[in-house]
Amino acid sequence: MTIEKRAFGRCGHMSSAVLFGGAALRDADQGTADRVLDLLIEYGVNHIDTAPEYGDAELRIGPWMDRHRDDFFLATKTRLRDYESARDQIRRSLDRLRTDRIDLLQLHGLYHPDEWERALSPGGALDAAVEARELGLVRFIGVTGHGWASAAMHRRSLERFDFDSVLMPWNWVAAHHKTYPSDFEATARLCAERGVAVQTIKAVARGAWAAGAERNRTTWYEPLENEDDIRLAVRWVLGRPAIFLNSVGDVDLLPAVLKAAAEGGEPPDAAAMTALEERAGLTTIFGL
């Protein structure tokens, strides 16, 4: 079983509907990382999303590129906001990833208004990304965000610059937040009109970690654990055509996510998702 491919916006690449989130390799050794690579190949995952902030992830992915560079659409990010720092970080990522080109360079976590203005103004990180694209170091430029402001901020970003992709939260709880769904839908419509790829995160989030809870996973939120619950959550997100699901940030939960996506099937209906919400105690990870 392999995961279906979808057009990644206007980028000309058919990406697996599940993108591998490199955050899962934050603290992994190379042996663990290489076992993950085998799993990605088994399920036909051909798109990797990582970032310098994900610990050693770029370093773990780098050796893969020696052998498999042409097999993957490779994305990384910069969270730095000024031109010089972002320029230098892009080049460090190229070195760490052991490649001469990055397919998608994303401005990471761009949702705070002050940081947004700095990054997208002259002398900001966007200038470094555009320069890297002109030099052939980067092919496409995207923007990512977390929290309830991300979708609205992405529309502002698309008004300022013609980004090739966006990344924002989407799961059953997010779809029933009091304000977020309308922002998400408006941004998704704009992206569809412009051919901008839409990536989503937090599909298998159960909720925020309880204070004092033992964190037995490498995700910053408490994830779903039961395989049947994960299957419902994954199928619900992927039931929406043309969007992508970034995989979970824990290598031990990754197989369940990939298996659920590869099996396919009809997306669960509202009754099934409401039952999951009640059974698993789904709640927000971003606060009210």
Q: What is the CA radius of gyration of the chain?
A: 18
- Are 78 and 117 a contacting pair, CB within 8 Å? no
pLDDT tens, position by position, 133-191: 999 999 999 999 999 999 999 999 999 999 999 999 999 999 999 999 999 999 999 99
Q: DSSP state, 74?
A: E
Q: Cβ atoms within 10 A of the Cβ of 215, count?
A: 11
Q: In the predicted model, what is the mean pLDDT of residues 47-57?
A: 97
Distance CA 128, CA 178 (A): 37
Three-state secondary structure call for residue 181: helix
Distance CA 97, CA 74 (A): 9
Q: In the predicted model, what is the mean pLDDT of residues 59-69?
A: 97
In percent, how much of the chain has pLDDT > 70?
A: 100
User: What per-residue confidence (pLDDT) applies to 172?
Assistant: 98
Q: In the predicted model, what is the mean pLDDT of residues 254-283?
A: 96
- Are 128 and 106 a contacting pair, CB within 8 Å? no
Distance CA 249, CA 227 (A): 16
Containing 139, the helix (H) or strand (E) segment is strand 138-144
Task: Please tell me the total number of residues recorded for the chain in this structure.
Answer: 288
Work out the pLDDT band at 288, boundaries 50, 70, 90: low
Q: Cβ atoms within 10 A of the Cβ of 120, count?
A: 19
Q: How many Cα atoms occupy the beta-carbon half-sphere of 13 within 13 Å?
A: 25
Six token digits for residue 24: 């899962």
Q: In the predicted model, what is the mean pLDDT of residues 196-212?
A: 94
Read off the amino acid at residue 122.
Answer: P
Distance CA 24, CA 166 (A): 20
- Domain extents in the chain: 5-280
Look-up: residue for tokens 């029933």?
176
Q: How many Cα atoms occupy the beta-carbon half-sphere of 204 within 13 Å?
A: 30
- Are 179 and 124 a contacting pair, CB within 8 Å? no
Q: What is this structure's pTM?
A: 0.96
Work out the pLDDT band at 39, boundaries 50, 70, 90: very high
User: What per-residue confidence (pLDDT) applies to 213?
Assistant: 77
Q: Which of the residue ranges 158-172, 186-200, 215-229 would you say has the lowest mean pLDDT?
A: 215-229
Distance CA 71, CA 13 (A): 11
Q: In the predicted model, what is the mean pLDDT of residues 5-18?
A: 98
CATH topology of domain 5-280: TIM Barrel (3.20.20)
Distance CA 235, CA 70 (A): 28
Phi, psi of 29 (to 5 degrees): -85, 170
